Amino acid sequence: MSDRYKIILAEEIIKTNCIPSLIPEHCIELLEMPNDSNLGDYALPCFNFSKTLKKNPQKIAEDLMNRMTLSSEFSEIKVIGGYLNFFLNKKLFIKDTLTELLEKRENYYKLNIGNNETILLEYSSPNIAKPFSVSHLRSTNIGNALYKILTFLGYHVIGINHVGDWGTQFGKLIVAYKRWGSADFLKKDPIKNLFNLYVQFHKEAETNPSLVDEAREVFKKMEEKDAALIDLWKWFTTVYLNDFKRIYDALDVKFDHITGESFYNNHVASIIELLESKNIAKINEGALIVDLAAFDMPPLLVKKSDASSLYATRDLAALLYRKKEYKFSKILYVVGSEQKLYFKQLFKTIELLGFEWGKSCTHIDFGLFHFKDGKMASRTGNIVELEKVITKANELALQTINEKNPDLEDKEIVAEKVAIGAIKFSDFSSKRIKDVLFDWNEMLRFDGETGPYLQYTNVRILSLLRKYEKDIEDLDCEFSKLETIDEFLLVKELYNFRTILVKAASEYEPYYIAKGLIDIAKRYNKFYTSHQILKVKKSIAEARIGLSYCTHIILNLGLSLLGIQAPSQM
């Protein structure tokens, strides 16, 4: 969706015939929005045309200005340097934007750019045999937000949690359990004790490499459907899946399907047969590989020399199954950036099999959580369990509420919403590709550009609406009464949020929504602290209440798209 004001300007610029080769789409792309409102609301950098027109940017801008006829939506046009700057008709802009927003509410932002196109979205996908740690948080949060954003904008999204419930790690876990564990030992604290066994295995394997061979042999027997080993595997996976559900419930994250790797075991033979029949795969040192040297990539291993399958084999099988089952237009994998090469190999293999839709497969990569002294690693036990983060965040939130609003009803419920909001928003405070340094103080801050700051701004507006003591449906807003620069700049932020939503969807980047919400909250709080809202003339009060309500609509919507609940009181 293009900004309507950019469309109007593009049409007027092209009518001048000053730039013969310019087309509307290119002109719309070139139009900028200056950060400083004194430089206008839109600007056309004329440097782009100097070479073609053999004129300096200032002269091009002046020629355009002299030939342009501004529509009523704009009040002024200026040449500043090599830029042609346009100023909105503030009163008309405020009136048109808020009138439509108040009428349509959140539907003002509900742009059907997806047209019901099916997108398969794989996210979270933790590995069993490891506790749900902070390292799983990013895929879970980013995927959950993208699910909500894309659905809101008209896509048919199918969310899948592809749980790592099969593979050599179970051979390791079973070996460790048989050597150092017992049923009674595990029943005391199954998640903790299973993880300790997993860590102990890797520690012991450093001095006893034969353990790794033993684990491989156990996993091979599992693939051959050894009944006793399968029973152990089922027990371990059930324990972990129940624990994962607790975490997902706390995070308010849901999936359309939770399908483990093991689901595709029965499809592995057919994918290997297909690879071999099309001469895509070949034997190399006893293993089956897809040679990708022609594409400057290492080979993709699809079957080990002992005939065991790998997660790549199961991922290929899953892709073919999903395409047939769900008929998706796109499939998105929300997985850390350290898997970038692997997904290139995977998608290229699908293309080599003759499936053009392999080009519709996209890896949504992201940076990882790190400690100050290095990367998290489950094999060494160097992780932070997410449940501990949630518990600590809840305690801090409750402590803050007790200090600021000790008489608040349902403090524990509010504290939980604030805590989860703090954790989730910290994940969206920078672009997903950036690594995140795990720092308790930063993650759990309740001031500055954080989730709780947005929640509190929304609560502030709801409190104001309650003080107004009239039904919002009865508002009769004369938005032309809003004449201050603070009101105009706030309305600009509300208007621009539509463009932000589209950008977040097209780039699969929830950060844009988080940043947009912070900008809106800052503008609103500046307006709130600088102007009386209720103790003014009735027509002005109603207009300002209407502006406040419109801000609430967007804050509430934006937070929900990020998977953050907005309490009514804090």
Q: Angle, nearest 10°, between helix axes 538-561 and 451-468?
A: 150
Asked if pLDDT for residue 99 goes beyond 90, the answer is yes
104-157 residue pLDDT tens: 999 999 999 999 999 999 999 998 877 888 888 999 999 999 999 999 999 999
**d(C-alpha 224, C-alpha 23), whole Å:** 63
Lowest mean pLDDT of 378-382, 472-476, 525-529, name the range.
378-382
Chain-centre distance of CA 194, in angstroms?
31
Confidence class for position 305, pLDDT limits 50, 70, 90: confident
Q: pLDDT value at position 554?
A: 98
**d(C-alpha 430, C-alpha 438), whole Å:** 14
Asked if pLDDT for residue 376 goes beyond 70, the answer is no
Asked if pLDDT for residue 81 goes beyond 70, the answer is yes
Asked if pLDDT for residue 375 goes beyond 80, the answer is no
**d(C-alpha 562, C-alpha 570), whole Å:** 19
| Amino acid (1-letter code) at residue 489 | L
* Alpha-carbon dihedral sign for residues 89, 91, 96, 102: positive
Lowest mean pLDDT of 4-13, 275-284, 430-439, 483-492, name the range.
430-439
Buried b (16+ CB within 10 A) or exposed e, 276-304: eeeebbeeeeebbbbebeeeebebbbbbb
Please state which CATH number belongs to domain 386-561. Answer: 1.10.730.10
Asked if pLDDT for residue 374 goes beyond 70, the answer is no
Question: Which tokens belong to 532?
Answer: 């009386």
CATH topology of domain 123-375: Rossmann fold (3.40.50)
Question: Which tokens belong to 198?
Answer: 């997993």
**Domain at 4-88, CATH homologous superfamily:** Arginyl tRNA synthetase N-terminal domain (3.30.1360.70)
Q: pLDDT value at position 444?
A: 67
Domain boundaries, the chain: 4-88, 123-375, 386-561
CB 519 within 8 A of CB 512: no
Question: Which tokens belong to 92?
Answer: 């008309």
- Looking at per-residue pLDDT, the higher value among 344 and 375 belongs to 344
524-533 residue pLDDT tens: 999 999 999 9
288 sits in which H/E element: strand 287-290
Phi and psi torsions of 213, nearest 5°: -65, -40
Q: What is the arithmetic mean of pLDDT over 315-339?
A: 97
| Amino acid (1-letter code) at residue 62 | E
Average pLDDT taken over every residue of the chain: 92
Q: What is the arithmetic mean of pLDDT over 412-424?
A: 94
Confidence class for position 92, pLDDT limits 50, 70, 90: very high
300 sits in which H/E element: strand 300-303
Asked if pLDDT for residue 480 goes beyond 70, the answer is yes
pTM for the structure as a whole = 0.92
431-448 residue pLDDT tens: 999 988 777 677 667 778
Q: What is the arithmetic mean of pLDDT over 66-71?
A: 92
Confidence class for position 264, pLDDT limits 50, 70, 90: very high
What percent of the chain shows pLDDT beyond 70?
Answer: 97
Q: pLDDT value at position 330?
A: 98
CB 168 within 8 A of CB 216: yes
198-225 residue pLDDT tens: 999 999 999 999 999 999 999 999 989 9
**d(C-alpha 498, C-alpha 268), whole Å:** 44
**d(C-alpha 549, C-alpha 98), whole Å:** 10
351-370 residue pLDDT tens: 999 999 999 999 999 998 77
CB 233 within 8 A of CB 174: yes
Q: What is the arithmetic mean of pLDDT over 458-476?
A: 89
Confidence class for position 373, pLDDT limits 50, 70, 90: low
Asked if pLDDT for residue 384 goes beyond 80, the answer is no
CB 139 within 8 A of CB 337: no
The residue whose two tokens read 């009136």 is: 95
Asked if pLDDT for residue 372 goes beyond 70, the answer is no
